Amino acid sequence: MKIMVSACLAGENCKYNGGNNRNEKVLQLMADHEVITVCPEQMGGLPTPRVPAEIVDGVVTAKDGRIVDGEFRAGAARCLEIARREKPDLIVLQSRSPSCGVKQRYDGTFTGTLVDGAGVTAQLLMQNGFRCLDVEELVGIHEGIVIEKLRLEEKELLKFFLYREAENPGWQVRWRET
């Protein structure tokens, strides 16, 4: 399986503050799979460290007011180019980033408020048909099958199924909360 990941998850110090988001699950993926690391913000020409940015009314803007939309979108385009060339089976991205966020991002007020929606790179990759997963949703990969965290309604459905099956003689099903 070929997997593309946010470089900061692999421990690269490419985060806005010069640090990383090293993630044990991603390191495990790197041991077992072919992994390509990308940092769209650096690839768009931004330095590290850099002023943090958020998407303000659709335009990526740094906290000091500088418009960095061009750099962010150039980085996103570069990631798409790499994804098209490498054809990863899965892309695992850092949560809540204005570039890499898959499900949520900050709302553009620099107050730590989250809104639903993706960062510019995740959005572009998903629009082009690539399977992107927020790293917080990843449980693991077992024999080529990607295991994601269950959503609440999926948990309820699974519980219902397990309880129903448990009523059948011969079945021994136990539900374990995670």
Binding site for ligand SF4 (CB under 6 A): 6-8, 14-15, 39-41, 94, 97, 99-100
The Cα–Cα gap between 136 and 134 comes to 5
Which of 95/141 has CB closer to ligand SF4?
95
- State in angstroms the smallest separation of the CB of 55 from ligand SF4: 13
Residue 117 or 150: which CB sits closer to ligand SF4?
A: 117
CB of 133 to ligand SF4, least distance (A): 14
Which C-beta is closer to ligand SF4: that of 116 or that of 167?
A: 116
Min CB(100)–ligand SF4 separation in Å: 4
Which amino acid does the sequence have at 25? K
In angstroms, the CA 8 to CA 130 distance is 20
**Per-residue 3-state assignment (H helix, E strand, C coil) for 122-178:** HHHHHHCCCCEEEHHHEEEEECCEEEECCCHHHHHHHHHHHHHHHCCCCCCCCCCCC
**Closer CB to ligand SF4, 59 or 150, in the complex:** 59
38 to 105, 134, 150, 172: CA distances (angstroms): 19, 15, 27, 45
For the bound state, the minimum distance from the C-beta of residue 172 to ligand SF4, rounded and expressed in Å, comes to 44
